[in-house]
Amino acid sequence: MMVLQMNYTSEMEKAMHGAHNVCYATYCRKHEVRMRVERRREQEYIQSQRLVADLTRNQLR
């Protein structure tokens, strides 16, 4: 089992809990939680890229 070794701050902890409703220690310890968070991050990234593309297209008109 691979465990992420990172130094993290209380701000990072707050952001993780606020955005994904999970503490950072759980994120590091549980593979299924980490995969759920990363899938959500990927979907949010894709949505943001689509939004940027739409805005860019609208500005060019």
The Cα 39–Cα 27 span in angstroms is: 13
Alpha helices in 1-61 (DSSP H): 10-20, 24-29, 31-60
DSSP string, 24-38: HHHHHH-HHHHHHHH
The Cα 4–Cα 38 span in angstroms is: 14
pLDDT mean over 21-50: 95
CB-based contacts of 3, cutoff 8 Å, min separation 6: 28, 29
Higher per-residue confidence, 57 vs 52: 52
Whole-structure pTM value: 0.75
Binning pLDDT at 50, 70 and 90, where does residue 1 land? Answer: low
Work out the mean pLDDT of the chain and round it to a whole number. 89
Note the pLDDT tens digit of each residue in 34-44. Answer: 999 999 999 99
Binning pLDDT at 50, 70 and 90, where does residue 25 land? Answer: confident
